[in-house]
Structure formats: C-alpha cells, structure tokens
Amino acid sequence: GAVVSQHPSRVICKSGTSVKIECRSLDFQATTMFWYRQFPKQSLMLMATSNEGSKATYEQGVEKDKFLINHASLTLSTLTVTSAHPEDSSFYICSASQDIPFLDTQYFGPGTRLTVL
Amino acid sequence: AQKVTQAQTEISVVEKEDVTLDCVYETRDTTYYLFWYKQPPSGELVFLIRRNSFDEQNEISGRYSWNFQKSTSSFNFTITASQVVDSAVYFCALSESSGANSKLTFGKGITLSVRP
C-alpha cells in the first residue's frame, strides 16, 4: 500500500520550454501532495503544498508563476516548470498523504530528473 | 523553530558490521512526530518508520532498530549486520503536527556505504 508514482522519471528539454511532471497516488486518496526539489548531495527542499481543489501554498522564495501546481483530483497533482532554464535542472520529488489519523505519513514518489539544456 | 541535525555526513562500513545513524532534533512542541526515510541510488525516498513523541518504546524491525530518547532529543537508527543493499542516504525528519498537511523538516542526510 501507499504507492506514489511520478512521470516522467527523466526529462531533457531545451531552455525556454515548459515541462509537466505528474504525481499520482496509486492505492489511496491523497488529501495533500507536496513538491520538493533536491540538489545533488543535499537534502530535500519543500517547494509547495497542494490540497485537492485548492490553490497550492508555496514556500518562501519559490516563484509560483514559474512552478505551476495543479491538484485536480485526490490522486493526481502536476507540477509545470514554465519557461525552464538551466538553473531549473534538478531532481523533483513529490509526496502524498491522506487525512486519516496515523495514516497521514508522507509517501514519496520515485522522483523526476529534469535537465534543461 | 524546529530543527533536525544529522551530524554524520558519510559513514563507510564493511558488510556484516553494525552501524548507528544519529539524529538529534529540536522542537518546542510537546507533541511531535519523527521519521526515518531511506533514499537508495535510484532516488525514491522509502518510508522506514514513524514515531510519536508520546511513545518512547524502542522499535525493532528485522535488522533495523530505533532508539528514541526524549531526554536527549535523539532518535537514532541502528542497522545490524549491514548489507550492501543498505547503501543509501538516510534522512531523519520531524513534524510538529499531524494531519495530511503536516510539513516535514529534514536533516541533511547521512550517506551510508556498505562495502562487501
């Protein structure tokens, strides 16, 4: 149980293009999904928190117009990196949790490695 | 403010050795939750354990064990008889609330290398 998938696992794009990353909870309904960014040999940095049907809450310093998050259903959230630039190259990881006591642990997806040329 | 410190950055052991990964946390809340996650080279974070602040019982799961001590604000993780497959980055994390919206504060992670 508690399986989270991400697609794609790797993406290479040209500078200026937009890239969409999907995060799905496969066997549970995710009340909340989180998006993280991880640089090499570093810890996870929370970018935003999204609840189904609501606008995402972004962490300080994260550009919401740059990183568009949509959480249209209880099993799917998407992160769109708009007008990507080389500095956006990173490992993006999502997690999902449900609003049930003792089951509200964050379960993580396998991550998406984005390379912007 | 909450904080998680994993002072060890890299640990290297030979297979079958026991290894302990340290985690020290700071929080002003009396109710909080502690976690350990494993990140193998593939990148996915694998949930290992969650511990509530009001439950100080230590836990053992196969070769893994966790020692939670509120008196020293520590939540250490021991791998007994380590194996090459244990090679990964291990993160300790803290949440000051429960519920789906609860944010995690991560430590910097410990890179464990287990040599054959």
Which has more confidence, A112 or B2?
Answer: A112
pLDDT confidence bin for A2, thresholds 50/70/90: confident
Residues A64, A59: Cα–Cα separation, whole Å:
9
Rounded distance between C-alpha atoms, residue B106 and residue B4, angstroms: 6
Q: Is B44 within 8 Å of B57 (Cβ atoms)?
A: no
Q: Write down the pLDDT at residue A103.
A: 72
Interface touch B102/A46, C-beta < 8 Å: no
Cα atoms found within 13 Å of the Cα of residue A45, Cβ hemisphere only: 14
- Residues in chain A with CB shorter than 8 Å from the CB of B98 are 101, 104
Token digits for B80? Answer: 């007994």
Q: Which residues contact B86 (CB under 8 A, 6 or more apart)?
A: B79, B112, B114
pLDDT tens string B72-103: 999 999 999 999 999 999 999 999 887 778 89
Is the separation of the CB atoms in B78 and B67 below 8 Å? yes
Rounded mean pLDDT of A91-114? 90
Q: What is the mean pLDDT of residues A31-55?
A: 92
Chain A hits for B53, CB-CB cut-off 8 Å, are: none
CA distance A115 to A10: 8
Percent of chain A with pLDDT over 70: 98
- Quick one: pLDDT at residue A1? 64
Q: How many helices (H) and strands (E) does chain B have?
A: 0, 12
Q: Which residue in chain A is spatially nearest to B47 when comparing CA positions?
A: A107
Chain A residues with CB inside 8 Å of B103's CB? 34, 46, 49
pLDDT tens-digit map of B9-61 = 999 999 999 999 999 999 999 899 999 999 999 999 999 999 999 988 888 99
Mean pLDDT of A47-73: 93
Task: Return d(Cα A114, Cα A112) in angstroms, integer.
Answer: 6
Structure tokens at A7: 């697609």
In this complex, is the C-beta atom of B45 within 8 Å of any C-beta atom belonging to chain A?
A: yes
Contact B92, B77 (CB under 8 A): yes
- For B15-41, b where at least 16 C-beta lie within 10 A, e where not — what string? eeeebebbbbbebeeeebbbbbbbbee
Residues 6+ apart with CB under 8 A from B7: B22, B24
Q: Fill in the DSSP letter of residue B72.
A: G
- Over residues A49-73, mean pLDDT: 92
